[in-house]
Copies of this chain bind each other. A is one copy, B any other.
Amino acid sequence: MLRKKTKGQLIVLSGPSGVGKSTVISELLSQREGIHFSISFTTRQPRVGEADGVNYFFVTRETFEGMIANDELLEYAEYVNNYYGTSLKHIQEKLDAGIDVLLDIEVQGAAKVRAKCPDAVFIFIVPPSFEELSRRLHRRATDQEEVIQGRLRKAREEYREIPNYDYLVVNDKVSDAAAEIVAILTAENCRTKNRMNLVEGV
């Protein structure tokens, strides 16, 4: 297993609502085997069609606050009286087993991960243009105009965080965006610091 590095890579993906991140992630997971997509913990109730361990791990408030107290979360946030967070233990187990772990989190959560895991790879996905982002948000037709305008304002705020990301991927065509992320992961595996174990006698 010459090319196997010892530890998995932590990959953090962020991008504005409507950019098509979940579609890119599905395509990415189909293009490249062996990536573990991290599922968040939440205290909110499952919506219709959502399953425990698929969309989220659904836990009680007591359980979640126990995880906070025991420092078991890589990052967490509270929205509308519900907690959302990422289990450090789950991720660490995968990384220790040499498996790459993908996190889909927004910019504040990503900033917390960056502080704790500076070796993680941070990728920001943008649409080809704001006009196109607006078109995509309207096309979904699930939100009212006011909500869409709010999402576009939030996108502009999130864009200010882009310089803190290592890589920028434009989601023009989903398969191209996924292929670029695959290339980024391959390149990160080739980083000298991740491969010195392959060099004899140095």
Residues of A within 8 A of B (CB): 2-3, 124, 126, 128-130, 156, 159-160, 162-163, 165-170, 172, 179-180, 182-184, 186-188, 190-192, 195-196, 198-202
A128–B195 CA distance with the chains assembled, in angstroms: 12
Taken together, the copies of this chain in the complex come to: 2
Q: Is the CB of B163 within 8 A of A191?
A: no
A196–B188 CA distance with the chains assembled, in angstroms: 21
Complex contacts, A187 vs chain B, CB 8 Å: 167, 180, 183-184, 186-188
Residue of B nearest to A194 (CB): B168
What are 12 A-B pairs with beta-carbon distances under 8 A? A2-B170, A3-B170, A159-B202, A163-B192, A165-B192, A166-B192, A167-B187, A167-B191, A168-B191, A169-B190, A170-B198, A183-B187
A141–B200 CA distance with the chains assembled, in angstroms: 24
Residue of B nearest to A190 (CB): B167
Q: Is the CB of B128 within 8 A of A168?
A: no
Q: Is the CB of B156 within 8 A of A201?
A: yes
Q: Is the CB of B183 within 8 A of A190?
A: yes
14 further A-B pairs in the complex, CB-CB below 8 A; given A165-B192, A170-B195:
A3-B172, A129-B200, A159-B199, A163-B196, A167-B187, A168-B190, A170-B198, A180-B186, A183-B183, A183-B184, A183-B186, A184-B186, A184-B190, A187-B187
